[in-house]
């Protein structure tokens, strides 16, 4: 199978390329890092890249929370306009198979249950609560403490920052393309991906990368809030394997299917900082109590649908992956 991999020279994309080659497929890298003309917003460049292609693995995106809301036009341009241009070219070229790099950020907060009111949907956290160190959302009905749990693909979506909004728009565009063309679209909703090749020293990198960069400078990792916020850290090689599984599975024509792509084993951000510090041999993390309004408190994955339908399972254990990541060479961009 000949697969166009947009963003194929990036962090996740490069691992997808390796995984495809290892399984006997022919990846075609389309990335501005290696070719300044390879921009998914350029119809001519995309049309040329689609020649002879059987399917597309769309990894190109602007990621992370960014520096400020001033980044919004660039996020929308790169993520949503780029996806629209790509899908229009695929419709014209007759390419009918897409795997999209989705994200768990489309959910907003994760799944919460109240002892009295069952599963509830807390609203955005108030600045007054965050400033007072009240980080966990309360039941919107009675104000009681909530128990966080894994979120499934059928949960309501509630994007709470610009990046999240653009990732949801990508899914809607892909679904519209699938209905219009009879194509097959899969969105792999990545949780916190980490591993070799992860970008560093940029507001668009992930939290594990921030921690490792601090350790490389001889500094203690700085942990926001109280460090107890839960995430699902999934290794990049496992994510690459999920992409190959989605590309080679029996497609569902005319629709988009979403799959959570996580390890299934939640860890706190504080645990992650401590694991990296121990593996690196650096100073212990510092819990700052600081917060970012765009962050959610807990978001972890129920990836059972991906396991059951595509036969995928994560192979890299958290402890092993963090040890490897602590010593892995990062990208400089």
CA–CA dist 13, 243 (Å, integer): 10
Give SS3 for 213.
helix
Q: Which residues are catalytic?
A: 163
CA–CA dist 248, 46 (Å, integer): 22
Tokens at 259, concatenated: 């799959």
- In DSSP terms, which residues pair with 29 in a beta bridge? 5
116, 158, 110, 124: which is closest to 141 by C-alpha? 116
Strands 222-223 and 255-261: unpaired
CA–CA dist 294, 169 (Å, integer): 18
Q: Where are the beta strands (DSSP E) in 162-320?
A: 184-190, 192-194, 222-223, 230-231, 233-235, 255-261, 267-268, 286-287
Tokens at 127, concatenated: 């600045």
Tokens at 251, concatenated: 């497609």
């Amino acid at each position: 199978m000949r697969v166009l991999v947009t963003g194929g020279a990036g962090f996740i994309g490069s691992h997808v390329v390796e995984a495809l080659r290892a399984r006997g497929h022919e990846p075609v890298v389309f990335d501005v890092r290696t070719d300044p003309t390879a921009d998914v917003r350029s119809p001519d460049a995309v049309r040329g890249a689609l020649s002879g292609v059987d399917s597309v693995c769309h990894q190109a995106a602007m990621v992370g929370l960014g520096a400020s809301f001033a980044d919004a036009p660039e996020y929308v341009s790169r993520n949503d306009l780029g996806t629209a241009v790509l899908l229009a070219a695929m419709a014209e070229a007759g390419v009918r198979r897409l795997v999209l790099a989705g994200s768990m950020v489309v959910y907003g907060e994760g799944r919460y249950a109240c002892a009295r009111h069952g599963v509830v949907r807390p609203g955005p956290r108030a600045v007054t609560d965050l400033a007072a160190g009240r980080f966990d959302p309360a039941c919107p009905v009675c104000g009681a403490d909530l128990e966080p749990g894994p979120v499934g693909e059928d949960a309501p979506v509630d994007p709470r920052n610009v990046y999240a909004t653009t990732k949801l728009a990508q899914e809607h565009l892909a679904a519209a393309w699938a209905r219009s063309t009879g194509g097959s679209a899969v969105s792999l909703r990545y949780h916190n991906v980490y591993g070799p090749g992860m970008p560093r020293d940029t507001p668009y990198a992930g939290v594990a990368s921030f921690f490792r960069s601090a350790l490389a400078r001889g500094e203690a990792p700085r942990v926001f809030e109280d460090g107890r916020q839960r995430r699902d850290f999934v290794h990049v090689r496992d994510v690459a394997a999920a992409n190959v599984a989605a590309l080679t599975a029996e497609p569902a024509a005319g629709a988009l299917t979403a799959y959570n792509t996580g390890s299934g084993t939640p860890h706190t951000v504080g645990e992650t900082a401590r694991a990296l510090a121990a593996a690196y041999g650096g100073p212990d993390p510092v819990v700052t109590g600081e917060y970012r309004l765009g962050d959610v408190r807990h978001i972890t994955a129920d990836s059972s649908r991906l396991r059951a339908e595509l036969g995928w399972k994560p192979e890299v254990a958290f402890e092993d992956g963090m040890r490897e990541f602590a010593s892995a060479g990062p990208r400089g961009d």
